Amino acid sequence: MTEQELRLKSVAYRRTILTIIHHAKAGHTGGSLSCIDILNVLYNHVMNVSPENFSDPNRDRYIQSKGHAVEALYTVLADRGFFPAEALYTLSRYQSHFVGHPTRKVPGIEQNTGALGHGLSVAVGLALAAKKDKRPYRVFTLLGDGELTEGSNWEASMSAAHYRLDNLVAIVDRNGLQISGPTEQVMSLESLTDKFTAFGFAVRTCDGNDIGDLLRVFEALPFAPGKPNLILARTVKGKGVSFIENALNWHHKVPSDDELARALAELDEAERLLKVVV
Amino acid sequence: MELGRPNLDEFAATLLELARDNPDILVLTSDSRGSGKLQPFAEQLPDQLIEVGIAEQNLVGIAAGLAAAGKIVFGVSPACFLTARALEQIKNDVGYSDQKVKLVGISAGVSYGALGSTHHSLHDLAALRAINNIDIVVPADNFETREAVRAAVTHPRPLYLRFGKKPMPHLHRPGTPFAIGKAITLAQGSDVTFVAAGEAVAPAVEASELLRAEGVSCGVISMHTVKPLDVETLLNAARRSRALITVEEHSVYGGLGEACASVLLQHGLIRPFCIVGIPDEYTVTGSQMEIFVHYGISGEGLAQRARQLLEVELIQ
Ligand SMILES: Cc1ncc(C[n+]2csc(CCOP(=O)(O)OP(=O)(O)O)c2C)c(N)n1
Ligand SMILES: [Mg+2]
């Protein structure tokens, strides 16, 4: 897929995310919009995983540690053909398998998440198994920045470095916000580059909402032999809709009819501009 | 039944009132002030709110340290994470070390509905019951909530309080006495008695009204303190009633129901008995109310259980 096609896909994904959250009257809007470009590039360009090879032990693995942004994941999985897109409209409904956090009852999902600070350890386990079995697959995991205050992440980091898991790629969605406020006000995280480097990762930063920058950083994998990889992806929470961007209350706010219409209009305009450039 | 506000709102408002007059009262949050309805507290008493980030284990450890230095500490975090993630801190730093921390599990049970099992706390009563030296209080309505929060301040042992986030009906007459460890009898009955806790009390009251209209003599007990259990009130109800039904927003394993069963059996009181709660299965997706109805924690569902139980007894 070309860079331009991926950019257009991101716009379409944003439309779907907002529409299904509006339909379900529940969801994590800000964190889904901030990470959708990362998921887009992973599932459409980087990872070797598809509905056809999902039972292949050599497929690449994706664990979404920031499970609350499940609408982004469901959206991409539907587009990749893991299940029919109509199923997205059962999100959070009575007796649906499409719960408000990832579950393995949904095709394409590898691990149930939603309690923060679990994904990296599970990813370490999967990456360690690949090393033991001499399998070629890679393991990708997406963490929130607020999530990094869970101590388990740092236990997992030590083991990733100790076992030299260069087949492990941890991506931090560095949108600078959590529920109660900016991350640096809630609990200081910086310097994350220094911290992860000290814990033994090879660290790269990128613009996590720029498809070109994301493609470049994933091309550069593995960053250093024998070291786990960490991508600090600078993002904007709520990216793509002016009134949702960087707005604290949009962590799990649901768009009203009017807000949805305005958001979709902004996305139409973004799509038009993208097409003009070509 | 007249509707009040969510117990969580009542908890937060009561705590703010108490903390205004007592600077030793501290609240700890783990990015949970919004869900704990503590935004006004954070704005009005910023020096009495300590934020630890998304780090529940750290929250309980810090709470124990503050309590050791004489502070009156309320550690407020979603019940699911607080009592699973930080269980060892609760066991060792609070219970075993006898630090009189007040742990507040918010949005408990299946309050988070369709967010799924990661966010449900159906294990907390079982896990904490098995830990020595922590009392467990699950208020049913705004009155019980207010009284429990007030009592918590001077409670002589570590304490766990558990709140949901749905508006609750007022269940008690003004002037009803409240004490941790003493159940409240809402009605006495000679056919069947519901022994319920927390947000499951209201559906038990609904069921009792349906049954009474059918001529069934029906009692209801709010067993707000799950540990230590009010054995006397339970035994008296069992002596009065032909059948007993327990109701809780918790796994049917290890919670209020099994606590009651154990007491009854060990006192030789054998009655037709039924534990209503969330069964040991992959919990159905839905809102709290949909999950309640699905598993029979509703007026009609509980009335049906009672009819079945009483019929069983007639046949015997
Ligand atoms: C163990 C645990 N504690 C608390 C929560 C509640 N929670 C859900 S999302 C969230 C904030 C996450 O912030 P961040 O990691 O920055 O995610 P993002 O900004 O990408 O949405 C919190 C506290 C949780 N899901 N798991
Ligand atoms: Mg964030």
Q: How many interface pairs between A and B have CB atoms less than 8 angstroms apart? A: 87
Yes or no, beta carbons of B118 and A180 under 8 Å apart:
no
Task: Kindly tell me if the per-residue pLDDT of B106 is higher than 80.
Answer: yes
| B218-222 and B184-187 strand pairing | antiparallel
User: What mean pLDDT is predicted for residues A249-276?
Assistant: 97
Confidence of residue B314 (pLDDT cuts 50, 70, 90): low
Confidence of residue B312 (pLDDT cuts 50, 70, 90): confident
B17-28 exposure pattern, b = at least 16 Cβ within 10 A, e = fewer: ebbeeeeebbbb
Say how far apart CA B117 and CA A115 lie, in whole Å. Answer: 10
In chain B, residues with a C-beta closer than 8 Å to the C-beta of A94 are 284-287, 290, 294
SS3 at position A27? coil
Q: What is the pLDDT of residue B125?
A: 98
Interface of B with A (CB under 8 A): 29, 31-35, 51-55, 57-58, 80-81, 84-85, 113-119, 282, 284-287, 290, 294
Bridge partners (DSSP) listed for residue B246: B195, B275
Q: What is the pLDDT of residue B174?
A: 85
Tokens of B258: 């099994």
Q: What is the CATH number of domain B184-315?
A: 3.40.50.920
Say how far apart CA A166 and CA A222 lie, in whole Å. Answer: 6
Q: What is the pLDDT of residue B187?
A: 98
The total number of residues shown for chain B amounts to: 316
Q: What is the pLDDT of residue B313?
A: 67
Cα torsion B246, B247, B252, B255 to 10°: value is -80
Tell whether omega for the bond before A191 is within 30 degrees of 0, i.e. cis: yes
| B135-137 and B225-227 strand pairing | antiparallel
More confident residue, B23 or B311: B23
Which string of DSSP letters, residue by residue, matches A34-68? HHHHHHHHIIIII----STTTT-TTS-EEEESSGG
User: What mean pLDDT is predicted for residues B252-276?
Assistant: 97
Pocket of ligand 1 (CB under 6 A): A 30-31, 34, 66, 68, 114-117, 144-147, 173, 175, 177-179, 237, 251; B 31, 54, 81, 85
Task: Kindly tell me if the per-residue pLDDT of A278 is higher than 90.
Answer: no
Yes or no, beta carbons of B290 and A180 under 8 Å apart:
no
Protein residue closest via CA to atom 25 of ligand 1: A115
Q: What is the pLDDT of residue B282?
A: 97
Kind and range of the H or E run holding B99: none
Sign of CA dihedral A72, A76, A82, A84: positive
Protein residue closest via CA to atom 8 of ligand 1: A68
Mean residue pLDDT across chain A: 98
Assess contact for B170 and B200: CB atoms under 8 A.
no
Task: Kindly tell me if the per-residue pLDDT of A108 is higher than 80.
Answer: yes
A17, A68, A112, A190: which to mutate for ligand 1, most atoms within 8 A of CB? A68
pTM here is 0.97
SS3 at position B297? coil
Assess contact for A37 and A208: CB atoms under 8 A.
yes
Instruction: Please count the other Cβ atoms lying within 10 Å of the Cβ belonging to residue A254.
Output: 17
Yes or no, beta carbons of B285 and A92 under 8 Å apart:
yes
Bridge partners (DSSP) listed for residue A140: A62, A169
In chain B, residues with a C-beta closer than 8 Å to the C-beta of A67 are 118
Q: Where are the domains of chain A?
A: 3-277
User: What mean pLDDT is predicted for residues B143-147?
Assistant: 98
Q: Does B3-169 match B184-315 in CATH topology?
A: yes
In chain B, residues with a C-beta closer than 8 Å to the C-beta of A113 are 118
Say how far apart CA B19 and CA B13 lie, in whole Å. Answer: 10
Q: What is the pLDDT of residue B1?
A: 83
User: What mean pLDDT is predicted for residues B118-126?
Assistant: 98
Task: Kindly tell me if the per-residue pLDDT of B59 is higher than 90.
Answer: yes
Say how far apart CA B15 and CA B76 lie, in whole Å. Answer: 11
Q: What is the pLDDT of residue B315?
A: 63
User: What mean pLDDT is predicted for residues A247-251?
Assistant: 98
Task: Kindly tell me if the per-residue pLDDT of B263 is higher than 80.
Answer: yes
Q: What is the pLDDT of residue B316?
A: 55
Q: Which residue of A has its CA nearest to B283?
A: A95
Mean residue pLDDT across chain B: 97
Give the model confidence (pLDDT) of B197-216 as tens digits. Answer: 999 999 999 999 999 999 99
Q: What is the pLDDT of residue B299?
A: 98
Of A101, A113, A178, the CB nearest to B54: A178
SS3 at position B191? coil
Ligand with minimal distance to B79 CA:
1
Q: CA distances (Å), A254 to each of A116, A196, A258, in order? A: 21, 34, 11
Q: Where are the domains of chain B?
A: 3-169, 184-315
Cα of A152 vs centre of ligand 1, distance in Å, is 14
Q: Is the ipTM of this complex over 0.85?
A: yes
Q: Which of ligand 1's atoms lies nearest the C-alpha of B81?
A: 1
Give the model confidence (pLDDT) of A6-61 as tens digits. Answer: 999 999 999 999 999 999 999 999 999 999 999 999 999 999 999 999 999 999 99
Q: What is the pLDDT of residue B114?
A: 98
Q: CA distances (Å), B46 to each of B20, B28, B33, B129, in order? A: 11, 11, 12, 34
Query: In terms of Cα–Cα distance, which of A76, A54, A62 is closest to A170?
Result: A62
Give the model confidence (pLDDT) of A162-207 as tens digits. Answer: 999 999 999 999 999 999 999 999 999 999 999 999 999 999 999 9
- Give yes or no for A84 touching B (CB within 8 A): no
Task: Kindly tell me if the per-residue pLDDT of B163 is higher than 90.
Answer: yes
CATH 3.40.50.620 fits B3-169, yes or no: no
Which string of DSSP letters, residue by residue, matches A174-219? E-SB-SSSBHHHHS----HHHHHHHTT-EEEEEETT-HHHHHHHHH
Tokens of A81: 């053909």
Q: Which CATH superfamily is domain A3-277 in?
A: Thiamin diphosphate (ThDP)-binding fold, Pyr/PP domains (3.40.50.970)
User: What mean pLDDT is predicted for residues B120-142?
Assistant: 98
